[in-house]
Chain A
């Protein structure tokens, strides 16, 4: 049972309830229970790469924090590599790698290489292994020129690559990535994705990835889990997600002046802000006839088409379930 079995990450009815105190008036406070994670169960076999997605506040980060042992669950059973994270935090720490997109796990004021040397000693990584892993990361993540730069002087993309390397020096069995491509430019994103794909294929590292970027999932994960309001809404292939959520694209139109709500066949206005209007239309339909019709009837300045983002797909999915149920 020491985590060598099929199921590497196991969650069984895991809950996290926060007590939030809210001011409701002068000297009056109300206690409110917030169920950030509300009975989630899933398993991830060794070597799988899974996307874990959902809107802000859905409970993604809370789940990751419980899986890393930062937070103690309020209920349910949780195991990573056979270890109960909250109870044996430091033992687990040697077996997992964590990358938080929003904050670095590197020492902010120290040169990058100093952080790596610290990791080397702190994780007791054998010298040869450390050398090998570091060389590989430096080469694949293009870190050579950055090693002597203090972390605070790195750009977001550079720092993210530095963070990913730091999370992998001790050969973790699991890698958690919390928004690893947030704020990165296209080239950095591609580099990070390619690296992760190779890592999963070659080292067989189990990867759990939370993201806002559907492309991350499309390019990396065969399996995706959707969480909303602390519950697991979907667990399966990415293709299936698109089918369930009847997704819509958005046409953003700038008119010459402020206009009342425009009317066109096959689309509806979802938002108006000054001379700009947002029109939603089915993702499967073409934007061309819409544009033609708009251009002939109204004074256009500019327009752009937005692809459905993960939030929209999930929101749609949620709405569908509500109407069906």
Chain B
């Protein structure tokens, strides 16, 4: 809320980050108390996500291309969305517990602490084991980059890290919006998971294997296509299946900022409604 008009956005962001690090740090220390168990869960997280890619490998033992894309190209798609999603999941994955907190009333205890509620919810149960997913994403991405013959130029080189950051921000906005929705519908976390985990799975495959309506939907309605499809098509010198111009590849930063802005507004609205109804 408008805690104080004079308080600048930068100061508040700084406080939020500080509070996040404090809470996340406490969770990391507490998990590190059991190192063996921690190592095991990281490996488990890695292995479970790795199976995903094994499925794709198996598919390619029967076919040479999927939707016109080679295994290396799909590894590139898979690695970019996997890493971006992994980052968002690491930082904001706890958002799906908001509904439960509203239901059992423990959200109130966050509202009496001097830290932003969003930060407290997001950093709660911060789980480093989610690094397993990021590691796996980066490995597959590395494999893709080595195997695929890309005509590199400076722009394309810069576009790769940029798409990871923007992709994480877009997925993060979906997590926060989903959280905001849980203020109103407390059981909405499954719907949220459909868009986050589901979206990640969708983006692992090339857009050419999906119906045009679906591709249009994730481009213009829920802009997940900007996480990797649009920039990746440019990097791989591929035609856009919707016939969109190639400059769409450079829109992810703007889309990410817009998504985060909207997610912030949704969060505010959700929190405001909670504070006026208390349920």
Contacts and interface: CB of A to CB of B under 8 A. Distances in A.
Most chain B CB atoms below 10 A, which of A74, A102, A122: A122
B1 interface: yes
A122 B22 contact: yes
Interface residues of B, number: 29
A100 B104 CA distance: 13
A132 interface: no
Contact of A65 (B27, B108, B113): B108
A117 B116 CA distance: 18
Interface in A75-108: 86-91, 93-94, 96, 98, 100, 102-105, 107
A150 B19 CA distance: 21
A110 B277 CA distance: 30
B139 interface: no
A114 interface: yes
A19 interface: yes
A93 B22 contact: no
B153 interface: no
Contacts of A123: 114
Nearest to B21: A121
Contacts of A109: 30, 125
B37 interface: no
Interface in B83-137: 104-106, 108-109, 111-116, 124-125
Given A65-B108, A87-B2, A103-B108, A122 B30 contact: no
A35 to B, nearest CB: 14
Contacts of A298: none
B108 A70 contact: yes
B278 A93 contact: no
A93 B3 contact: no
A87 B272 CA distance: 11
A121 B23 CA distance: 10
Contacts of B125: 109
A65 B26 contact: no
B61 interface: no
A71 interface: yes
B3 A90 contact: yes
Q: Which of B1, B22, B106, B114 has the most CB of A within 10 A?
A: B114
Given A110-B26, A114-B29, A122-B22, A90 B275 contact: no
A88 to B, nearest CB: 6
A117 B2 CA distance: 28
Contacts of B1: 86-87, 89
28 contacts: A68-B112, A70-B111, A70-B112, A86-B1, A86-B275, A87-B1, A87-B2, A88-B3, A88-B4, A89-B1, A89-B3, A89-B111, A90-B114, A91-B114, A93-B112, A94-B114, A98-B109, A100-B108, A103-B106, A105-B113, A107-B26, A107-B124, A114-B29, A114-B30, A117-B26, A121-B22, A122-B114, A123-B114
Given A103-B108, A122-B22, 20 more contacts: A18-B278, A62-B278, A65-B278, A68-B112, A70-B275, A71-B275, A72-B276, A86-B275, A87-B1, A87-B3, A89-B3, A89-B111, A90-B114, A90-B115, A98-B109, A103-B106, A107-B124, A109-B125, A110-B26, A121-B22
